[in-house]
């Protein structure tokens, strides 16, 4: 067993149960290959000592790994890594971003976690080119591929647009489709990409350990006359989502580069 285990890796004050924190910790290392197939894990008692938890907590975490097919458990022989398995992956491109987002909406399932109408505030108002006291709809949605979460999305829509579709539609339909139905079709996008650590709430929703690396994408969607119709803060699991693009010099020979997804 690698020496990465330690009590600093789990926190009983987090909303995620300790056994699930341990499950996520070990699963990430199995999926990444850090714990390769065939490796023997430490016994429950030793692992519990390293992590500063009870043996029953470790046992429950290992049983959950076994239920997902990531480890083999045999009485009297211990626990061995079965392999990383196949993780569903969603891909997106820069050149056809709108098409990629539309396709993603068709290929994945959405779960509406929270929705409310509120004042935009300074930061969101700037993105949507509104006054800070303007009303927006804030909707938190979770997208899943083959039943597995891969993105946590916080959408901000001007209230005048959001009132043109129902909560039932919001809970089952892609935002691009809803915007089109509402008479505010997205025609272009601008986005900013960064890497962040998962906070406890987002970690729980995406089924990763708190502090795990996530891909964050802030995106402004613009409609007719380049008027912003949506601002989204998206967090993606990097093991289930990636962007791809290619570059080449254009035919004019002036040194400019063209980017293709």
Give the closest residue to 212 by CA, choosing from 140, 128, 135, 149. 149
By residue range, what is the domain housing residue 222? 90-246
Q: Regarding beta strands 228-236 and 78-81, do their DSSP bridges make them parallel or antiparallel, or are they unpaired?
A: unpaired
**Residue 70 CB neighbour total at 10 angstroms:** 21
Q: Tell me the average pLDDT across 145-173.
A: 90
Residues 120, 132 contacting (CB under 8 angstroms):
yes
| pLDDT beyond 70 at 1 | no
Cβ within 8 Å of residue 251, ≥6 positions away: none
Question: Does residue 242 surpass a pLDDT of 80?
Answer: no
Identify whether 100 is part of a domain: yes
Does 204 share its domain with 235? yes
pLDDT over 50 (residue 91): no
Question: Which of residues 108 and 61 earns the better pLDDT score?
Answer: 61
- Residue 115 and residue 226 in one domain: yes
Instruction: Say if residue 17 is in the same domain as residue 65.
Output: yes
Does the residue 257 lie in any domain? Answer: no
- pLDDT of res. 162: 96
Instruction: Give the residue carrying structure tokens 């709809």.
Output: 137
Which CATH number covers residue 46?
1.10.10.10
Q: Let me know whether 101 and 214 are in one domain.
A: yes
Q: What is the pLDDT of residues 198-210, one digit of tens each?
A: 888 898 899 887 8
pLDDT at 93: 44
* Residue 141's pLDDT band (cuts 50, 70, 90): very high
Answer whether 0.85 is exceeded by the pTM.
no
225 and 193 co-located in one domain: yes
Domain boundary pick from 81, 106, 128: 81
Q: What is the pLDDT of residue 134?
A: 96
Is 206 within the bounds of a domain? yes
Last residue of a domain, one of 61, 81, 101: 81
* pLDDT of 245: 56
Q: How confident is the model at residue 190 (pLDDT cuts 50, 70, 90)?
A: confident
CATH of the domain at 148: 3.40.1410.10
Could you give the CA distance from residue 125 to residue 144 in angstroms, rounded to a whole number? 29
Average pLDDT score over the chain: 81
220 beta partners: 190, 231
Quick check: is 54 in a domain? yes
Residues 57 and 139 in one domain: no
Q: What is the CA radius of gyration of the chain?
A: 22
What is the rounded average pLDDT of the residues 107-116?
85
Which is higher by pLDDT, 91 or 180? Answer: 180
The 109-119 sheet, strands edge to edge: 109-119, 135-145, 148-158, 228-236, 213-222, 188-197
What b/e string do you get for 98-124 counting C-beta neighbours within 10 Å, with b at 16 or more? eebbbbbbeebebeeeeeeeeebeeeb
Number of domains in the chain: 2
Instruction: Assign 107 a pLDDT band (cuts: 50, 70, 90).
Output: low
């Amino acid at each position: 067993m690698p020496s990465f285990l330690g009590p600093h890796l789990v926190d009983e004050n987090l909303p995620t149960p300790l056994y699930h924190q341990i499950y996520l910790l070990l699963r990430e290392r199995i999926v990444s290959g850090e714990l390769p197939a065939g490796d023997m894990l430490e016994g429950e008692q030793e692992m519990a000592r390293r992590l500063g938890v009870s043996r029953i907590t470790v046992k429950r975490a290992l049983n959950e790994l076994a239920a997902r097919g990531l480890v083999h458990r045999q009485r009297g022989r211990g626990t061995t890594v079965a392999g990383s398995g196949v993780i569903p992956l969603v891909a997106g491109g820069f050149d056809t971003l709108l098409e990629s987002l539309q396709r993603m909406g068709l290929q994945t399932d959405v779960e509406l976690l929270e929705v409310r109408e509120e004042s935009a505030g300074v930061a969101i108002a700037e993105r949507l080119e509104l006054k800070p006291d303007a009303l927006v709809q804030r909707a938190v949605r979770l997208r899943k591929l083959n039943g597995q979460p891969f993105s946590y999305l916080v959408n901000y829509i001007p209230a005048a647009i959001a009132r043109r579709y129902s909560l039932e539609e919001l809970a089952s339909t892609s935002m691009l489709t809803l915007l089109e139905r509402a008479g505010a079709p997205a025609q272009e996008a601008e986005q900013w990409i960064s890497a962040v650590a998962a906070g406890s709430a987002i970690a729980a929703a995406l089924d990763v350990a708190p502090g795990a690396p996530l891909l964050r994408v802030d995106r402004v969607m613009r409609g007719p006359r380049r008027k912003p119709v949506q601002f989204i803060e998206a967090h993606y699991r990097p093991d289930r989502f990636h962007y791809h693009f290619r570059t080449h010099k254009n035919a004019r020979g002036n040194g400019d580069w063209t980017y293709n997804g």
